[in-house]
Amino acid sequence: MPSYKTTIHWFRRDLRLTDNTALLHASADAETVVPVYLLSDWKADHNWTGPARQQFLCGCLDSLSNDLKSIDSRLILRDGGQVEAMRQLIKDTKAEAIYFNRDPDPFGKAMEAKMRELAREIGIEIHDFKDVVLHEHDEIANLSDKPYKVYTPYSKNWFTHDKADDRGRVRVLGKTPANLKSKPVPTLSRWGLDSSGANLIPAGEKAAHNRLKTAFDGILQRYADDRNTPIGQTTSMLGADLRFGTISPRQVFHRAEKAIAETKSGSERESLYTFQKQLAWREFFMAILGHFPEVLETDFAEKWRGLKWDQPEDFPDKWKAWKTGKNRISHRRCRNASARRHRFHAQPSANDRGYVSHQRPPFSLDSRRVIFYAMAPRWRDRQQQRRLAMVRGDRRRRRSLFSDSEPLDPNRAL
């Protein structure tokens, strides 16, 4: 028997109906679940996001809205400040509880604290769940019960922990009251933005599952060797989907586990395991952010804090304009060409007014092509040597060659 007549599910980084932990709990606990997404109110400019990313978000919300209609529900979109918008929605729906999935970044956590305070003030219950990651930052610790600062020991421990299974798809949420007001699905004009002109991947849960299927149809079986190749699709292309939650990390991890169990090829198993390690990399960055939120404002290593740069004062502006005179690849120039990033880090939610992390800059697919052509003679030579070493079974030589080429893949892409 349901515990509540009406509850609210607060969509954030979980824009899907399948394997959505909080949504599944809400649907089991209430007769009617009101799905809501709270829109941000900034205009024209933001410290770390722009038109390409916001356009992908618009596509995800449009897809989610259609998916909810298919089960006789309706996505409610509100603005005007998240806390006040939620306060009004609780009043309009007479909701008895709020359900949401926890955000790993400090800005999301700060907003969650405000929502908990609102729930206490009004006198309703609030339920939050782990969903964005397989393991939250406080689940993986070293033998001294302290957080890891280095990836390799973190990942070894990460793989020893049990991974939750895919929980299935929500089928019924109850009919959303017809009199509830909602904003339309947003477009770029909401934020005063023009189209970036980027060639965006299709957005939404269905598109994410299509990318997952395509990735495991052979691409990821060659991932260990091909992921640094800047021509063609050599990665899963699921980074944006994991960031906005159109697919869950549990679905991705267990699909890789299934592929490992099905293949008889040692090299394919190695590639699939290498891909799984990228999920560990993703959660390692989130763990660092959870334990050391100061990395958003300063260097992770204390000894580098306050380091003085020897470049002239106008160097950053010249770097952004690709006019430094140095034989280097401009990350910003490359990033402007594409919205597809080489790795989507633990970036704050747009609605929680975050700021960009000082992690190594994520490279776009286009920037990888530029790097390839800039370093083509040397890079092709190393690739040829690696293939020869692989054929001859010289694993030691192959590893040394791989480490030498690793700067081409600075963020270990998904």
pLDDT digits (tens, 9 = 90+) for 282-312: 999 999 999 999 998 888 888 888 887 676 6
pLDDT tens column, 180-234? 999 999 999 999 999 988 889 999 999 999 999 999 999 999 999 998 887 888 9
Measured CA to CA in angstroms, residue 81 lies from 40, 75, 128, 353, 376 at distances of 7, 18, 20, 11, 50
Phi, psi of 77 (to 5 degrees): -115, 125
**Other CB atoms closer than 10 Å to residue 354's CB: what's the count?**
22
3-state SS class at 90? helix
Judge whether residue 384 has pLDDT over 80.
no
pLDDT at 44: 84
Indicate the pLDDT class of residue 352, thresholds 50, 70 and 90: very low
With a threshold of 0.85, does the pTM exceed it? no
DSSP 34: E
pLDDT of residue 325: 64
Q: What ranges make up the beta strands (E) of 102-244?
A: 125-129
Q: Where are the alpha helices (DSSP H) in 292-330?
A: 315-320
pLDDT higher than 70, residue 158: yes
Q: What percent of the chain has pLDDT over 70?
A: 76
Averaged pLDDT, 378-386? 48
Question: What pLDDT was estimated at residue 401?
Answer: 37
